[in-house]
């Protein structure tokens, strides 16, 4: 067993490509490292989302602009350099680190934290070295580190107390508070709660229409999800009735939510019966929530996301109905969207709960990173 890692200086690098997934993952990583006693400098080219994602900051995490000067002489040099998603650390910082290596006598552990996937190549490439042949860091090694869903990968981000907080969560109280905040009425045991964090799925009109089969409270985060829903409604689809919940069972109520901190986003997922999520960070959080979900995978121009989606569904051991729902939701086929009845929804929830149970037997991503760094130092 690896001995506990002494407090080290981690420099984590993040470029925000689009949406909030890059900074969301990196912020969770940084705060969980800090929670384990590590010191973290988070270098990011656009930290604006942290104003609502993490308004209170985090002790032990120092957020710095991507183009800020390298650390001053009185500051600790990096023990670990971690670049997220192949963002390529600035040449100035690499040169600074190489100079520090000369004076300190040892170089930092350099990690390239890759994207999440269930595809077979992840297990093959996890922890592989990539020697640097040129530049000020010539002769160093950069290590590939792959998050993943199996014991042969780097695992997933998970706070040590996450499941305890999930277990203690009062769903009824959360729903009542939400209803009061949005002036809703008539919300009872027979109402289905759904979160919608998506891009612009072609099947969205079908989902909105079918949500009326039973009273449904739809929670829509800001940004692209809100714009997508409002674009559908603007098309004048009169068959979509948008009313407050009442005794009428043919009703759909939509709540357009403000931006919220990460912990509050997690609670929204815990409060819902079904979560539509997208990208990487919200998929992982929906798995920890343990409720039925559909993943809107980030589309790629060469359709490489198709194989990635099928690999995830294979690992998930998804029933045929959930696989078909994913295919339609992600535009992989033109089959009609089949909104689940209560029995099907229960089957989907059981599938996610079983997958979560498998994940909980594995070390989380931060624990594995700490062990890896202790090994390489």
- CA-to-CA dists, residue 153 to 92, 113, 358, 369, angstroms: 31, 12, 14, 11
The Cα 50–Cα 42 span in angstroms is: 12
Strand ranges of the sheet holding 109-113, from the earlier edge strand across to the other edge: 61-65, 39-44, 9-14, 80-84, 109-113, 141-145, 129-131
- Structure token digits, residue 223: 């940004």
Residue 333 annotated among the catalytic residues of the structure: no
Task: Out of 114, 266, 280, 281, pick the active-site residue.
Answer: 280
Residue 227, SS3 per DSSP = helix
Q: What are phi and psi of 313, to 5 degrees?
A: -65, -35
Residue 277, SS3 per DSSP = strand
Residue 280 annotated among the catalytic residues of the structure: yes
**β 141-145/129-131 pair status:** antiparallel
Task: Out of 22, 79, 114, 273, pick the active-site residue.
Answer: 22
Give the residue from 319, 323, 316 showing the smallest Cα distance to 353. 316
List residues with catalytic annotation. 22, 280
């Amino acid at each position: 067993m690896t001995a506990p890692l002494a407090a080290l200086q981690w420099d984590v690098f993040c470029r925000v490509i689009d949406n909030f997934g890059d900074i969301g993952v990196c912020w969770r990583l940084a705060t969980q490292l800090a929670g384990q006693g590590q010191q973290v400098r988070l270098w990011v080219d656009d930290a604006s989302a942290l104003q609502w994602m993490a308004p209170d900051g985090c002790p032990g995490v120092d957020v710095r602009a991507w183009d800020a000067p390298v650390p001053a002489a009185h500051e600790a040099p990096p023990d670990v350099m971690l670049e997220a998603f192949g963002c390529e650390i600035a040449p100035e910082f690499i040169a600074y680190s190489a100079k520090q290596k000369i004076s300190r006598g040892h170089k930092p552990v350099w990690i390239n934290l890759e994207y999440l996937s269930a595809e077979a190549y992840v297990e093959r490439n996890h922890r592989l070295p990539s020697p640097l042949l040129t530049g000020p860091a010539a002769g160093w090694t950069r290590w590939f580190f792959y998050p993943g869903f199996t014991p042969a990968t780097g695992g997933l981000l998970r706070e040590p107390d996450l499941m305890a907080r999930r277990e203690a969560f009062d769903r009824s109280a959360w729903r009542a508070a939400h209803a009061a905040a949005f002036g809703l009425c008539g919300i009872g045991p027979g109402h289905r709660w759904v979160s919608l964090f998506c891009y612009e799925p072609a099947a969205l009109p079908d989902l909105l229409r079918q949500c009326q089969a039973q009273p449904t409270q739809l929670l829509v985060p800001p940004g692209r999800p809100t714009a997508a829903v409002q674009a559908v409604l603007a098309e004048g689809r009169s068959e979509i009735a948008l009313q407050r919940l009442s005794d009428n069972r043919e009703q759909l109520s939509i709540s357009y939510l403000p931006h919220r901190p990460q912990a509050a986003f997690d609670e929204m997922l815990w409060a819902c019966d079904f979560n539509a999520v997208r990208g990487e960070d919200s998929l992982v959080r929906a798995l920890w929530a343990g409720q039925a979900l559909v993943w809107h995978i980030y589309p790629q121009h060469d359709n490489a996301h198709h194989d990635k989606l099928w690999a995830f569904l294979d690992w998930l051991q998804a029933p045929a109905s959930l696989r078909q729902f994913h295919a339609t939701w992600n535009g992989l086929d033109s089959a009609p969207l089949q909104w689940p009845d209560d029995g099907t929804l229960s089957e989907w929830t059981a599938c996610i709960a079983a997958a979560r149970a498998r994940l909980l037997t594995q070390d989380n991503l931060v624990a594995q990173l700490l062990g890896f760094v202790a090994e390489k130092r």
